[in-house]
Amino acid sequence: MELEIIRFIQSFHTPLLDQLFQFITQFGEAPFKIMFVLGIYWCIDKRMGEYLSYSFYTNLMFNHTVKNIVNAKRPIGEEGVRSLRVSTATGSSFPSGHSQGAASTYGAAYLILRRYKSAIILLILVLLVGLSRLYLGVHYPKDVVCGILFGLTISYCTYRLFLRSEDKSKLYLATLVLFLPFLLVLPHHPAHMVGEYLGFIVGVAFEKKYVNFKVKGRIAMRLFRFMIGIVSLFILKWCLITLPFKGMVYQFLYGGLLAFYSFAGYPYLFRWLNKGKH
């Protein structure tokens, strides 16, 4: 039944739709979601960006845990199924990481914006990302549907916890403790993910105590701040990748350094460059 749904959706394929859905699916991939979250954190609303980041990382840990427990096979290679952009189809099939990540990130954005028009746009984006995973032949319908439901649930739960928690660092650490046993015991230990999350926790705490940057300035200045931040982050990532190191410890430190730079290092840098004038 599920394969029939995939084949039906793919029966409308054209070269244009192939390109379109390969573009749409990127809204559910880590690079775009990270730019979305950091853009808000650096340039629009620091508190909103912090919450979005918490929802983003909680979603990643949940998705990795469930994927490794279920260990479901993808439809890739099934008769009559065209599979495109398979390089992004990593891990097992259930639930869809793209669909869940899009629902968690953009669902979290709606919970803060609370605007009807934004809800429609964000919902359409989430549904299109889910549809793209079926059109590209890398997920079953149940992967997409459950992924969206999981993502929306995570965004709501993290939102309520974020609002009620006075000590955010304790909340973040408690969330890590909840998932850590699964992340360490299950196959494919995500050392970089744990490192990123700890880098986020330490970075946010460091920023609050020693940096305390303000999100102000004209639109042009904020766009410039965002572009410099993304470029510098990718330069740092490239430098770390070129180092002749491998293994879990390196992956852990790699993720931690990137996250710490994103949430504390770069804010400190642009605050210093502006000489305290935000």
| C-alpha of 107 from chain center | 12
The reported pLDDT for the residue numbered 275 is 60
**pLDDT tens digits, one per residue of 193-242:** 999 999 999 999 999 999 888 888 788 889 999 999 999 999 999 999 89
DSSP single-letter state for residue 209: I
The reported pLDDT for the residue numbered 170 is 94
**Which residue is listed with tokens 């990270």?**
34
Least confident of 5-9, 109-113, 234-238: 109-113
CB 148 within 8 A of CB 99: yes
Instruction: Give per-residue burial for 210-240: e unless 16+ CB within 10 Å, then b.
Output: ebebebebeeeebeebbeebbebbeebeeee
DSSP single-letter state for residue 44: T
The reported pLDDT for the residue numbered 18 is 93
Question: Percent of the chain scored above 70 by pLDDT?
Answer: 97
Cα angle, residue 62 at apex, residues 53 and 265 outer, rounded to 5°:
25
Give the number of residues written for the chain. Answer: 278
pTM above 0.85, yes or no: yes
Q: At residue 67, what is the residue type? A: K
**pLDDT tens digits, one per residue of 153-176:** 999 999 999 999 989 999 999 999
- Give the start-to-end residue ranges of the domains of the chain: 1-166, 189-278
The reported pLDDT for the residue numbered 276 is 47
Q: Residues with Cβ < 8 Å from 164, sequence gap 6 or more?
A: none
The reported pLDDT for the residue numbered 178 is 93
List the structure tokens of 6: 């995939």
